[in-house]
A = this chain, B = another copy of it.
């Protein structure tokens, strides 16, 4: 049985990091090993990660000296650059981060095992715009998380 090596993306990490380097340079900032490692860890991860988890993975996988503060500084920077999404989920006491690679999507979380599924529903998004317009708001974004029990946990509960 082949070991799972991580999320498969349309783009390779090399291509991705190349784009990132250009992006960060265009902002007058420097690249750094720590920034690349954080990106790599997020790129390879199947799951959404907390800052602490990102820190642990970078330390384990790259044996580099890195502290929590740096991870937070990097994640905040990446969020400002819209390179990562930060989500706050009920029951979790820290932010969870994911790479903003694919199209926009929302999340569905299993209250039992914490599994996170992603979905995108164009109709809902259109209705959100409609609701906002009715209230006179110019909508700039939204957060939507559905909570429930995933198929696996439901079966186990029987």
Chain A residues in the interface with B (C-beta under 8 A) = 88, 90, 108, 110-111, 117, 119, 121, 123-124, 127-128, 131-132, 134-151, 154
Are the C-beta atoms of A151 and B124 separated by less than 8 Å? no
A144 contact from B117, B138, B143, B148, Cβ within 8 A: B143
A108 contact from B131, B149, B151, Cβ within 8 A: B131
Are the C-beta atoms of B143 and A149 separated by less than 8 Å? no
A137 contact from B108, B135, B136, Cβ within 8 A: B108
A100 → B minimal CB distance (Å): 16
Please give me the residue from chain B that is nearest to A121 by CB atom: B131
CA distance A143 to B144 in the complex (A): 6
Are the C-beta atoms of B136 and A147 separated by less than 8 Å? no
A-B contact pairs, 14 of them (CB 8 A): A108-B139, A110-B137, A121-B131, A123-B127, A128-B144, A132-B148, A137-B149, A139-B146, A139-B148, A141-B147, A142-B146, A142-B147, A143-B143, A143-B147
Among A128, A132, A146, A149, which residue has the most Cβ atoms of chain B within 10 A? A146
Please give me the residue from chain B that is nearest to A137 by CB atom: B148
Residues in B whose Cβ lies below 8 Å from that of A143: 90, 143-145, 147
A28 → B minimal CB distance (Å): 26
Are the C-beta atoms of A131 and B149 separated by less than 8 Å? no
Are the C-beta atoms of A150 and B136 separated by less than 8 Å? yes
